[in-house]
A = this chain, B = another copy of it.
Amino acid sequence: MGETSKKTVAVVGLGSMGWGAAVSLLRAGYAVRGADIRDAVLDRLEEAGGAPCRTAADAARGADMVLIFVVNAEQTEAVVFGPGGVLETLAPGSLIVACATVPPAFAEDLGARLAARDMLLIDGPVSGGAAKAEAGEMVIMASGAPAAFEAADGVFEAISAKVYRLGDDVGSGSRMKMINQLLAGVHIAAACEAVTLGLRAGIDPDRLYEVITECAGSSWMFENRVPHILEGDYTPKSAVDIFVKDLGIVLETGRALKFPLPIASIAHQLFTMASASGYAREDDAAVAKVYAGTGGVTLPGED
């Protein structure tokens, strides 16, 4: 990278999406300070050339901007405002990008509170999964002030295939992400319902996958999650409880807007059943186990 002086970027939360952002930034020549509570991922970060940090405050020290890749609103709140949080060290006028899926109302409130502290905020939830993130090809649904996007100069290009600028307000990014999660959650649950009905009806599940992915019944989630069921592998790429949370955000927003959401409600119930049945931290395709258990079906990989 030689003469070019690239920004120093703090990445708080090195789960699959945060990790992908961190390594993509390192590849593009940025200095990366990464914070996580897990030793193993901090060791991997150091090997990859980044600076491992124990707290968000530590990561934000001397950074030009902060990307927050924690899992929800509560964690976002904690890593910004809590003890050891970003605001303890981040220089005034810096940019924070909030990438977790959070209620749009939380994002709006966060924007107002950070503006009062002279910080810029981009409401920037992401989509795409671990593989795309690691390749620097996630999708970002972003909104915020023009000055915030100027401050982000180059960083989004390094970590994403596509950045949608959805408005100058804070909130439009999270609203779009909420719509995506409604569909994604329903499609996962529907895929589980369809595959287990197919098993109950005597259809070979590998054949079912082969045919449906070529037909009008297919979805991104069907293509992506059904192989986990076919392989009997519920190692969490994304856990059941993520959709308990994300469809919860959808329903909370629907209640606030007085808008009926019958399909999202039922899908949320299914993720809740899966979570309460002991599959909370398994891959979200474990919703299939709820159907199998209540429908008299043996899943691939079960006895």
- B262-A184 in contact (CB<8A): no
- A212-B193 in contact (CB<8A): no
- A193-B127 in contact (CB<8A): no
Least distance between A111 CB and chain B CB atoms (Å)? 16
For A247-269 the 0/1 string (1 means CB < 8 A from B) is: 00010011001111111101101
For A212-242 the 0/1 string (1 means CB < 8 A from B) is: 1011111111101000000000000000000
Interface residue from B182, B198, B266, B296 paired with A258 (Cβ < 8 Å)? B296
Smallest CB-CB separation from A222: which chain B residue? B183
Interface residue from B215, B269, B291 paired with A180 (Cβ < 8 Å)? B215
Least distance between A129 CB and chain B CB atoms (Å)? 7
The CA-CA distance from A176 to B224 in the complex, in Å, is: 19
The CA-CA distance from A179 to B218 in the complex, in Å, is: 11
* Identical copies of this chain, number: 2
Question: Which residues of chain B have C-beta atoms less than 8 A from A295's C-beta?
Answer: 258-260
Residues on A lying within 8 angstroms of B by beta carbon are 104, 127-129, 139, 141, 162, 164, 166, 172, 175-176, 178-184, 186-187, 189-191, 193-198, 200-203, 207-208, 210-212, 214-222, 224, 250, 253-254, 257-264, 266-267, 269-270, 291, 294-297
Interface residue from B162, B191, B258, B261 paired with A183 (Cβ < 8 Å)? B191
Interface residue from B211, B262, B267 paired with A176 (Cβ < 8 Å)? B211
- A183-B194 in contact (CB<8A): yes
